[in-house]
Amino acid sequence: MTSLAQPSTVNAYGAGLAAAIDVFTGGRRGAQRSQADAISQAADAGLVQQRYATVLVAKQGYFDVLRAHELVRVATEFVAQAELALGYTRDRLAAGTATRADVLLAELSLSTARRQQLAARDTLSTTSAALGRLVGANGSVDADPPATLEPVPLALSDSGVLALAPAAAPAVVNAQALANAGAAAVRASETQYLPTISLGTGYNWSNNGRVSGALSSGWIVALTTSFPLFNGFVREASVTQAKVTADVATATSADTKRFARAEAQRLLGSLHVAEQDITLTLDAVRLAGEDLRVIQARYRAGIATILDVLTSQTALIQAELDLVSARFTYQVARASLEALLGRDL
C-alpha cells in the first residue's frame, strides 16, 4: 500500500526600507541651486521695479491734479485782469476817451478768459476723477499741495546717478539676474553628458529567509551609476535651447544697462533744463506783472491803448502758464529718475 505525502504549506513574508542619494551629478545640483538663486534675485528686483513704477504713476496723477489747480488759479487771475480792463475801458468810454471798439476788444478778452477758466476747471475735474480711480476711490480725489514745488538738490551728484543707473537700477539687476539664471541653466543641462552616481542603503526583514525566493534579513549597501547613451537627441535639444535662452538673456542684460545709462542722462538733462526754466519763468512772471501794472497806469492816463493792455495781460498769463509747466515738468522728471534708480532722491 502506497502512501502519498502532502506537501507542506510555507507562509513567508517580509519588508524592506531603502534610501539612496546622488553622490555625483556632474555639478547639476549646484547649477540648479545657482539658477534658483538668480531667479529669486530677479524676482526681488522686479518687485522693486514694479513698486517704483506704481509710485511713478501715482505721482504723475497727483501732479496732474496739482497742475490743474494751478491752471485754474491762473485762469481765475486772467478773468480778474480781463474784468478790470473792461472796467477801465468802460470808464474811458463814458469819459469819451475810448471807442466802442475798445470795449468790444475788452469784452472779447473777458470771454476768452472765462472760456480758459472753464477748460481749466474741466481739466481739474477730469484729473481728480483719474486720481480717484488710481487710488481705488469711488469718486474724485483732490491733492494737497506739498510744502514747495521749487527744485531741491538731489541726494546724488550727476556722476553718481550715471554710475548707479547701469549698475544698480532695478531693471538692470533684474536683467542681469535672468542672464545669470540662463548661464546656470546651461551648466545644468550640460551635466546630462555626465553619468550620475548614486549611493543607496537599506534594511530587509523576513520571517523566513531560508525559503527560496524570500527576502533575507539584513542591511544592504549599493553603489549605482546611470548614463543615457541615446535618448533621441532630447539631451542635445535641451542644451541648445538653454544656450539660446542664455544668449538672449545676456544680450537683453547688456541692452538694459545701456538703456538705463541713456535714460538717466536724458532725465538728468530734463531735470536741469526744468530747473533753469523755472528760474527764467519766475523772472518772466515778475517782469510781465510789472509791465502790466505800468501799461494799466498808462491806459488810465490815456497814453496807452487797450491793445497794449491786452497784449501785456496775455504776456503775463503766458509767463504764469510757462511757470506752471516748468515746475511740474521738473517734478515728473525727478519722479521718473527715482523710478529708474529704484530709490528716493
pLDDT in tens, 41-70: 899 999 999 999 999 999 999 999 999 999
Task: Check whether 97 has a pLDDT greater than 60.
Answer: yes
CA–CA distance, 151 with 275 (Å, rounded to integer): 6
Where in the chain are the domains? 27-191+232-341
**pLDDT for residue 32:** 83
**pLDDT for residue 211:** 57
**pLDDT for residue 255:** 95
CA–CA distance, 274 with 280 (Å, rounded to integer): 10
- Average pLDDT estimate for 114-125: 94
CA–CA distance, 96 with 186 (Å, rounded to integer): 93
State the chain's mean pLDDT as an integer.
86
**pLDDT for residue 210:** 60
Q: Is the dihedral of CA 114, 120, 125, 126 positive or negative?
A: positive
- Average pLDDT estimate for 224-250: 84
Residue 53 sits at φ, ψ, to 5 deg, of -65, -40
- Average pLDDT estimate for 308-328: 91
Residue pLDDT, tens place only, 250-284: 999 999 999 999 999 999 999 999 999 999 999 99
Task: Check whether 213 has a pLDDT greater than 70.
Answer: no
**pLDDT for residue 208:** 63
Distances (CA, A) of 172 to 166, 176, 287, 298: 6, 6, 46, 62
**pLDDT for residue 209:** 54
**pLDDT for residue 228:** 78
At the top level of CATH, which class does the domain 27-191+232-341 belong to?
A: mainly alpha
**pTM exceeds 0.95:** no
**pLDDT for residue 215:** 60
**pLDDT for residue 149:** 84
With bands split at pLDDT 50, 70 and 90, how would you rate the model's confidence at 329?
Answer: very high
HSE, side-chain direction, 13 A CA sphere, residue 88: 24
Flag the least confident range among 21-25, 293-297, 326-330.
21-25
**pLDDT for residue 1:** 44
SS3 of the chain: CCCCCCCCCCCCCEEEEEEEEEEECCCHHHHHHHHHHHHHHHHHHHHHHHHHHHHHHHHHHHHHHHHHHHHHHHHHHHHHHHHHHHHHHHHHHHHCCCCHHHHHHHHHHHHHHHHHHHHHHHHHHHHHHHHHHHCCCCCCCCCCCCCCCCCCCCCCCHHHHHHHHHHHCHHHHHHHHHHHHHHHHHHHHHHHHCCEEEEEEEEEEECCCCCCCCCCCEEEEEEEEECCCCCCCHHHHHHHHHHHHHHHHHHHHHHHHHHHHHHHHHHHHHHHHHHHHHHHHHHHHHHHHHHHHHHHHHHHCCCCCHHHHHHHHHHHHHHHHHHHHHHHHHHHHHHHHHHHHCCCC
**pLDDT for residue 193:** 81
- Average pLDDT estimate for 234-259: 90
With bands split at pLDDT 50, 70 and 90, how would you rate the model's confidence at 192?
Answer: confident
With bands split at pLDDT 50, 70 and 90, how would you rate the model's confidence at 7?
Answer: low
With bands split at pLDDT 50, 70 and 90, how would you rate the model's confidence at 214?
Answer: low
**pLDDT for residue 235:** 80
Query: Residues 213-245, buried b or exposed e (16+ Cβ, 10 A)?
Result: ebbeeeeeeeeeeeeeeeeeeeeeebbeebbeb
